[in-house]
Amino acid sequence: MKSLLKHREIITIGGVVLLVAIVGAFHSSFLDPANLVRVLNSTVILALLGAGSAIVIITRNIDVSVGSTLALSGIVGAMLMRDGAPIWVAVLAVLGLGAVLGAINGIGVTYGHAPSIVMTLGTLAAYRGISFLITGGHSIESLPAAYRRVGRIEILGVPILIWIAVAVIAALALLMARTKFGRSFYATGDNAEGAYLVGISTNTIVILAYTISGLLAGAAALVFLAQVGSIGNQAGQGIEMRAIAAAVIGGVSLTGGVGTVVGAVFGAIFISTATSSLSFLGIPGSWSDTVIGAILLAALFADSRVRALVSKRRLAARYSALADETAEGHPKLESEVRS
């Protein structure tokens, strides 16, 4: 039980396996390797955004602007490629712009003292508006064929974009779990004042969390361009709520200090699997948001119950320790009185 509480992503992984098994039991074609690869390929963008959202939530903040960041950085990259800029220059521009847009959120939250939900709601609208002004409401197309081919390259039957995403997520997971720098994010989210007293620059950590989230949104924009081959100002609209849902379903607590990047990625896989299974079960795709909302509410309720259980156990352990200390102290007091 303690292991499950500490590693709540295990529950999400079990949920993904169970969901795939249930849908596969009704429609064996769902278990076809080609279909499972398609589900994973469609998860890459949400997994990157979910990982970025998880890091922000771990610091006890939230980012609802990742969809607009994806659109704006992707549009700038697509325009550069369309106008003849080298692909590597466009890639660096997309990643750099994503990081800068994320850092703006972090600076507004820390030094601007704006609540994170208000700050990122503002930039959600601002980044989306700038995207419309740049494009005039039209899609950016005519990307170089060399870049569009990236979305079709496969290694061992699996798209290269999945391999790259796995490598990025693995590096990020190791950074968060195995380094002092990564643990600073958890300390900031768990107890910001305590983290500051032990020498952690909490404002810097929060800004870095948003910067990483923006960087991953830029990476998601590059995946979008490679998979779709064009981009408009409506790209990524509404995906920010799915990214947050992926993090929460994956075991990241909205109260901060708890959760992992890997859990958020499996939360994204769970959402993609659930939405993909709707067509196999004969349920209209228009139900997908309702299904995801229901899953998110269930995850929030479960998170609340888990936190209540952990708090109850901590209090019980403290009372037990206090009772033991009192029982040991009485004989000592009696012997002191007799002497």
212-237 pLDDT, tens digit each: 999 999 999 999 999 998 898 889 88
Query: Lowest-confidence range among 18-27, 139-148, 272-281, 314-323?
Result: 314-323
Selected residue with higher pLDDT from 7 and 278: 278
Question: Residues 6 or more apart from 52 whose CB is under 8 A from it?
Answer: 63, 66, 102, 212, 213, 214, 215, 216, 217, 243
With beta carbons less than 8 A apart as the criterion, state whether 272 and 292 touch.
no
Distances in whole angstroms, Cα of residue 293 to Cα of each of 5, 162, 189: 23, 26, 25
Does residue 333 register a pLDDT over 60?
no
With beta carbons less than 8 A apart as the criterion, state whether 72 and 101 touch.
yes
Q: What is the mean pLDDT of residues 261-277?
A: 89
Nearest Cα to Cα of residue 265 among 138, 131, 173 = 173
Tokens of 6: 């500490």
Residues pairing with 154 in the sheet: 159
Distance of CA 264 to the CA centre of its chain: 5
162-171 pLDDT, tens digit each: 999 999 999 9
146-156 pLDDT, tens digit each: 998 888 899 99
Q: Helix 239-249 and helix 288-338: axis angle, to 10°?
A: 40
Whole-prediction pTM value?
0.86
Cα torsion angle, 315, 317, 320, 326, sign: negative
Nearest Cα to Cα of residue 67 among 57, 87, 52 = 52
